[in-house]
Amino acid sequence: MRTDLLARLATHTQQRDQAGLRRRLHTVTRADGMWVERDGRRLLSFCSNDYLGLAQHPVLVDALKRAADTDGVGSGSAHLICGHRSAHAALEEALAEWTGRERALLFSTGYMANLGVMQALLQRDDVCVQDKLNHACLLDGAQLAGAELKRYPHGDIEAASRQLTARPDAGALLATDGVFSMDGDIAPLRELAVLCHHENATLMVDDAHGLGVLGARGEGSVTDAGLSARDVPVLMATLGKALGCSGAFVAGSAELIDGLVQSARTYIYTTAMPPALATATLAAVRLAQSEGWRREKLGTLIARFRAGASQLGLPLMPSPTAIQPLLLGDTAAALTASEALEREGFLVTAIRPPTVPQGKARLRITLSASHEEGDVDRLLDALSRLPTARPV
């Protein structure tokens, strides 16, 4: 008898529920900086990726409104048909200049950018070597491209080297998050660049959580590590995190970008992002570049949180960035802690498997330049009263 697909999916959902892993959607009815209203309650959020506090900045809002007055809402088409507007071109130019690359190409989401790059670069006989903790879309991208996917233990250069040398004749892409999304630590980019140079492999960095946050002008983790476009020929970053907007881009040589325009299906066969959004994002880039105080303030808040959490003996992870997870291990412990924080007026989501490995459930606390020192102190105070927030 044929399998009932809907019944099978329902069984899977039920199993997730029984294991305490059911994902639930909550509607935010109002957002005001780091404050959100959910289920009729006002909560101070420590889980957004709006690291520089730009998502509701009046300059961005104004840019979006004014551009919509002239450009309308939808782009009306894919880039290659008639959807590519001056606003897209101006944003691409600014992103290329910011990241020190010849050119940049916009995608509608980071997920699509990574799928598109992998599918354009990789073929069946190639190998794609990736850090085990890379974001899901990098892993999916390699699999969809049909290349051999090899995953090395987190940050383990020697293991990565062994995986590359095992396939000396294959085309090879080594892909890594610049800043790991669930752990907050930074990839050993210099060592990876040396390895790729030695092995003739292409290095790709997904800097979704580094752009805007790291580097003197927010250029991201690659520039911050002192690496050039030659060291990291494929740079991808998103626009929906520190820049407070939505979308993503790939930056690199003119040859790379031209190749993506020819071959990246997630670029070719989809509607271009709304041009007004591109205009607002350009305003965000300018603010991120010029307002260094946002990065400085974020740095102060990170140091304050880490000092306080370490004094309390909380299970901090070795992260220097705005992502400051507390590793609780047990799924139930992470959920209980998140619920207890919510009762105290804080929104901190519990991150559970399969997003993180089994036994590594955590509270993913993120900081933003929109937080104040008093906010961090109040969060620490609430954390100090959690019985479950203890080292695993």
- The yes or no reply on residue 333 touching ligand PLP (CB under 6 A) is no
Min separation Cβ 206 and ligand PLP, Å? 5
Question: Does 209 qualify as catalytic in the annotation?
Answer: yes
Residues 244-283 that bind ligand PLP (CB under 6 A): 248
- Identify the helix (H) or strand (E) that includes residue 249: strand 248-252
Question: Does 297 qualify as catalytic in the annotation?
Answer: no
- Total residues contacting ligand PLP by CB under 6 A comes to 13
How far apart CA 183 and CA 178 sit, in angstroms, is: 11
Closest CA to 365 of 312, 311, 329, 321: 321
10 Å CB burial of residue 143 (0-12, 13-18, 19+) is middle
Q: How many CB atoms lie within 10 A of CB 307?
A: 12
Min separation Cβ 239 and ligand PLP, Å? 7
Output DSSP code: residue 387. Answer: T
How far apart CA 313 and CA 311 sit, in angstroms, is: 5
Can you tell me which of 177, 199, 224, 231 binds ligand PLP, judged by CB under 6 A?
Answer: 177
- The yes or no reply on residue 109 touching ligand PLP (CB under 6 A) is yes
Strand partners, 235: 205, 251
Interface segment toward ligand PLP; rule CB under 6 A; list 1-9, 184-192, 202-210, 227-235:
202-210
The answer to whether 137 touches 111, Cβ cutoff 8 Å, is: yes
- The yes or no reply on residue 137 touching ligand PLP (CB under 6 A) is yes
**Single-letter amino acid code for the residue at 178:** G
Question: Does 338 qualify as catalytic in the annotation?
Answer: no
10 Å CB burial of residue 90 (0-12, 13-18, 19+) is middle
| Catalytic-role residue among 88, 135, 150, 241 | 241
Long-range contacts of 85-90 (CB under 8 A, 24+ apart): 85/272, 85/275, 85/278, 86/275, 87/275, 87/276, 87/278, 87/279, 87/282, 88/272, 88/273, 88/275, 88/278, 90/278, 90/279, 90/282
Min separation Cβ 343 and ligand PLP, Å? 28
Can you tell me which of 53, 83, 110, 116 binds ligand PLP, judged by CB under 6 A?
Answer: 110
The backbone torsions φ and ψ at residue 336, rounded to the nearest 5 degrees and listed phi first, read -60, -45
Q: Which is closer to ligand PLP, CB of 195 or CB of 208?
A: 208
Can you tell me which of 119, 130, 221, 238 binds ligand PLP, judged by CB under 6 A?
Answer: 238
- The yes or no reply on residue 135 touching ligand PLP (CB under 6 A) is yes
Interface segment toward ligand PLP; rule CB under 6 A; list 107-115, 116-124, 196-204, 292-300:
107-115
Min separation Cβ 315 and ligand PLP, Å? 22
- The yes or no reply on residue 48 touching ligand PLP (CB under 6 A) is no
Q: Which is closer to ligand PLP, CB of 141 or CB of 382?
A: 141
Min separation Cβ 238 and ligand PLP, Å? 4
Q: Which is closer to ligand PLP, CB of 144 or CB of 380?
A: 144
Min separation Cβ 210 and ligand PLP, Å? 9
Can you tell me which of 46, 51, 98, 111 binds ligand PLP, judged by CB under 6 A?
Answer: 111
How far apart CA 89 and CA 272 sit, in angstroms, is: 12
The backbone torsions φ and ψ at residue 94, rounded to the nearest 5 degrees and listed phi first, read -65, -40
- Residue 72: HSE in the Cβ half-sphere, 13 Å Cα cutoff: 5
Can you tell me which of 181, 221, 266, 331 binds ligand PLP, judged by CB under 6 A?
Answer: 181
The answer to whether 85 touches 274, Cβ cutoff 8 Å, is: no
| Catalytic-role residue among 209, 297, 360, 371 | 209
Can you tell me which of 206, 219, 224, 231 binds ligand PLP, judged by CB under 6 A?
Answer: 206
Q: Which residues are marked as active site?
A: 181, 209, 241
Please report, as ranges, the residues that interact with ligand PLP according to CB under 6 A: 109-111, 135, 137, 177, 181, 206, 208-209, 238, 240, 248
